[in-house]
Amino acid sequence: MTMTEIKQRHWEDVSVDELLDGYSLELTWTKMAEQVSGSQDFYPVHHDPDFARAGGHEDIFYNTGFTRAALCRLLTDWHGPQGWLRKLSFQMRKMHMPDDTIRVKGTVTAVREGEDGMGEVDIDLWIENDRVGIATPAEATVLLPRSTG
């Protein structure tokens, strides 16, 4: 397996309105089995379509931990190994379901001086899919090192 090197982003190199590269992920039934097994979240709404529909849902859907991990992946890939995720909040307004392809994206909304030699960056990010559009809006603050140490 080949790993892509994640480059370190520095505070001085970030600007407001910068778009994060983002990524896409196809949500297959196998991926659903992996996330249910890996998270140990065996609540039937995540694996039993009849149970989910009886509860008023369209179908089974991906859990909160998966959603949080998808957002965190975008941020940690973007900020690099010396960056830190200070704050993350998100709203699960619509569900992500098997056979959706999600796109995780973001944009820088503010850049400011931080503490301890770090710079702070605010980011609006979201997860969208073709079925419902933006399903998960989010906000984050990350800390980035300065290029001058």
What pLDDT digit, counting tens, does each position of 14-39 carry? 999 999 999 999 998 888 888 888 88
Tokens of residue 61, six digits = 């859907």
Closest CA to 123 of 103, 144, 105, 139: 139
What does each C-alpha distance from 70 to 53, 66, 122, 128, 148 come to in angstroms?
Answer: 25, 6, 18, 11, 31
Residues facing residue 104 across a β-bridge = 23, 127
Compute the distance between CA of residue 14 and CA of residue 70 in angstroms, rounded to an integer: 22
Q: What percent of the chain shows pLDDT beyond 70?
A: 97
What pLDDT digit, counting tens, does each position of 97-139 carry? 999 999 999 999 999 998 788 999 999 999 999 999 999 999 9
Q: Which domains does the chain have, with CATH numbers?
A: 11-145 (3.10.129.10)
* pLDDT higher than 70, residue 4: no
